[in-house]
């Protein structure tokens, strides 16, 4: 089974800086320019929707900084920020993991230091599923998740409704979250031709999930600029959703996909930090009917 | 095409009263005991999930009174409450519509007065759809809607997952709302064998709907008492959801079903006032991507 790498950096600007939109671009720039983890350049450049790389927005105080209205975010010299990169690759990147360094970027000069490196075997991750079979599942969106409604369109109809732009679902269903997680998981383990399975899984997850609670709200996010400098916006969702799946076999599958997604995120634009999720567990309460 | 009747009553207790749980029981009692609209007794007694009767909770100041925790709700003598009954029946009930009266119930003595009577032909309602083809659709839950997740289970799997209790979806999807509305609508126009169609419609509505905004929250509701006097509870949802369906044919169908549901409500226990909805329309804004 493949390995997942997750590296947490502390990122400290050595001058007052204006953060790019989104702020994940600082790390992305460092990879693309070959200064940090150069082997990941191809992964970043990939057009694969379910590519196996996640670069978080910069954060401070347990929160990510993301810009909703295109307003500039300035950070003082010496402010300690954090960032997470997760990826899976067959290239040996271990030699490229450098503990500390000072780097020039187009956004200013930054000091990077590795806080911790996690390397996890997917097989081991999957075994962990058994620990959570009696728990409720909480998916917490740490940065806005950008989810296309059409991911749950029956694949047989995709040609027919090709021209319909259904936009983003800012009200995520369990099935939509699970379908996204499944597609990334399949990419991870090298499973192909999965569109029909993903659709069926999503539908089943919606029909057999019990929503215990949630606190969700839509947000407008700026995902970058087009070639003319105009802001590109999308609608995402923030908050959390707690649910259970009272069908053992389905729950086991869903847990497996979500555990991997806790590294790679959920939805679109994960490569620039959107859809960062924490997957948490809560003991099932005796629910009264 | 059938007719839909909607009668709005003012309901004024002539003594201090403790309202039953749910408060719709006052009107329900009056029908069941033959004092008001006696022809509707059979409709109330029907076990049909998609039956064509809605009896609202009592309300005051534009809000319905519903009890979330079983606490008793007392109302002072002379307080003017309101209630709405909607139904469709082939019986001639016109002669039973009495303008005003004083009635004894097991909950106390009440004065009823008809505020207005609306009789609408479903054909005419359907024609109204064209007025809203350019608008966003807002579904506002006026009383908690109780929605079973399994309504969007593929009918071919219903036997297989018969024993799985997935409970109520407190996070409604557009598809779930539409599937419920469709089933009631089919009952209204006498269309049979619709489970597969309802499922497909729900899936398609989820995949092709653009969620514009929402403010939703789960609520625990008391839907009555069992034979031992224990409270029976369920989980419902309150709030609103605004969406568009950028596929003309589907939007036309969805509008048709929702317009009827604005009379009969959405979900379970509509006969005792749950799932009361207002279907509203908002001009489509130019949405930027």
- Rounded to whole angstroms, how far apart are CA atoms B244 and B136? 5
pLDDT for A147-158, tens place per residue? 999 999 999 999
Give chain A's domain count: 2
Confirm if B244 and B210 have CB atoms less than 8 A apart.
Answer: yes
At A100, which CATH number? 2.40.30.310
- CATH (domain of B134): 3.30.70.1900
Q: Are residues B117 and B174 in the same domain?
A: no
Residues A164 and A186 reside in one and the same domain: yes
**Per DSSP, what are the bridge partners of residue B237?**
B145, B218
Range of the domain at A167: 128-288
pLDDT tens by residue, B205-243: 999 999 999 999 999 988 877 788 788 888 999 999 999
B28 Cβ contact partners less than 8 Å away, ≥ 6 residues apart: B44, B55, B271, B272
Distance CA B25, CA B31 (A): 10
What pLDDT is recorded for position A215?
96
- Please indicate, yes or no, whether residues A115 and A54 belong to a single structural domain of this protein: yes
* Arithmetic mean of pLDDT, A135-145: 96
Share of chain B above pLDDT 70, in %: 95
- Interface predicted TM-score of the whole assembly (ipTM), two decimals: 0.91
Helix (H, G, I), strand (E, B) or coil at A90: coil
CB A281 within 8 A of CB A129: no
Distance CA B10, CA B112 (A): 6
A67, A73, A79, A85 alpha-carbon torsion, rounded to 10°? 40
**Strands (DSSP E) found in B106-134:** 108-121
Q: Look at B170 and A211 and tell me if their CB atoms are within 8 Å.
A: yes
- Domain stops at, among A103, A122, A141: A122
Q: Are residues A100 and A147 in the same domain?
A: no
H helices within chain A, ranges in order? 25-32, 41-45, 122-127, 174-189, 195-207, 248-264
Question: What's the rounded mean pLDDT across residues A170-189?
Answer: 97
- Which pLDDT score, from 0 to 100, does residue A226 have? 79
B171 shares a domain with B44: no
The conformation of residue B96, written as its DSSP 8-state character, comes to G
A191 with A248, same domain?
Answer: yes
pLDDT over 80 (residue B17): yes
Best probe of the A interface among B139, B200, B206, by most A CBs < 10 A, is: B206
- Is residue B97 located within the same domain as residue B138? no
Same-domain pairing of B117 and B34: yes
Contact call for A153 and B211, based on CB within 8 A: no
The values of phi and psi at residue B253, to 5°, are -65, -50
Closest partner residue to A164 among B161, B168, B246, by Cβ? B246
**A81 shares its domain with A193:** no
| Of B71, B95, B122, the domain-final residue | B122
Residues A161 and A191 in one domain: yes
Co-location of A144 and A276 in the same domain: yes
Distance (Å, whole) CA B47 – CA B57: 20
pLDDT of B61: 67
**Do A111 and A135 belong together in one domain?**
no
Contacts of B203 in chain A (CB under 8 A): 152, 154, 203
Interface of A with B (CB under 8 A): 149-154, 157, 161, 164-171, 173, 203-204, 206-218, 232-235, 241, 246-247, 287-289
For range A213-218, the mean pLDDT: 95
Asked which of B90, B122, B154 is the last residue of a domain, the reply is B122
B72-116 pLDDT, tens per residue? Answer: 789 999 999 999 999 999 888 888 998 899 999 999 999 999 999
């Amino acid at each position: 089974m493949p390995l997942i790498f997750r590296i947490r950096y502390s990122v400290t600007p050595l001058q007052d800086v204006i953060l790019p939109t989104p702020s994940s671009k600082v790390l992305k720039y460092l990879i693309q320019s070959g200064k940090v983890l150069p082997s990941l350049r191809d992964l970043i450049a990939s057009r694969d929707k379910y590519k196996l790389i996640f670069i978080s927005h910069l954060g401070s105080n347990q929160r990510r900084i993301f810009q909703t209205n295109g307003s500039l975010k300035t950070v003082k010299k010496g402010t300690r920020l954090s960032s997470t990169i997760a990826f899976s690759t067959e290239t040996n990147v271990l030699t490229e993991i450098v503990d500390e360094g000072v780097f020039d970027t187009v956004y200013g000069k930054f000091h990077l230091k590795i806080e911790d490196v996690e390397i996890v075997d997917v097989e081991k991750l999957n075994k962990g599923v058994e620990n959570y079979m009696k728990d409720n599942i909480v998916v917490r969106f740490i940065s806005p998740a950008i989810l296309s409604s059409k991911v749950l369109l029956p694949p047989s109809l995709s040609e027919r409704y090709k021209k319909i732009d259904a936009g983003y679902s800012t009200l995520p269903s369990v099935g939509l979250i699970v379908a996204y997680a499944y597609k990334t998981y399949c990419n991870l383990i090298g499973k192909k031709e999965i569109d029909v399975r993903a659709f069926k899984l999503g539908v089943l997850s919606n029909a057999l999930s019990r929503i215990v609670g949630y606190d969700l709200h839509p947000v407008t996010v700026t995902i970058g600029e087009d070639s003319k400098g105009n802001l590109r916006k999308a609608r995402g969702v923030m908050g959390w959703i707690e649910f259970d799946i009272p069908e053992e076999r389905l729950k086991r599958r869903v847990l497996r996909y979500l555990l991997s997604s806790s590294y790679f995120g959920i939805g679109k634009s994960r490569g620039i930090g959107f859809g960062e999720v924490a997957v948490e567990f809560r003991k099932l309460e005796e629910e009264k009917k």
